[in-house]
Amino acid sequence: MNNYEIMMNGNVKIGEYAPEFEAMTTMGNIKLSDYKGKWIILFSHPGDFTPVCTTEFIAFSKANTYFERLNTCLIGLSIDSNPSHLAWLYDICLKTGITVPFPVIADRSGEIARKYGMISNSVSSIETVRNVFVIDDKGIVRTILVYPMTVGRCIPEILRIVEALQTADCNKAATPANWIPGDPIIIPAPNTCVGLKERVRLIEEEKNGMSWYLSFKENECNNQMLREENVKKIDKK
Beta bridge partners of 28: 25, 26
Sorted by where each starts, the structural domains of the chain and their CATH numbers stand as 3-153 (3.40.30.10), 168-229 (3.30.1020)
Q: Select from 133, 223, 214, 119 the least CA-distant residue to 170.
A: 223
Residue tagged active-site, from 53, 154, 193, 221: 53
- Residue 236 makes CB contacts below 8 A (sequence gap 6+) with none
* Whether the Cβ atoms of residue 94 and residue 3 lie closer than 8 Å to each other: no
User: pTM score, two decimals?
Assistant: 0.87
- Note the pLDDT tens digit of each residue in 61-112: 999 999 999 999 999 999 999 999 999 999 999 999 999 999 999 999 999 9
* Whether the Cβ atoms of residue 231 and residue 66 lie closer than 8 Å to each other: yes
DSSP 8-state assignment for residue 197: H
pLDDT band (50, 70, 90) for residue 11: confident
pLDDT band (50, 70, 90) for residue 212: very high
CA 237, CA 235: separation in Å to the nearest integer?
Answer: 6
Q: Tell me whether residue 53 is one of the annotated catalytic residues.
A: yes
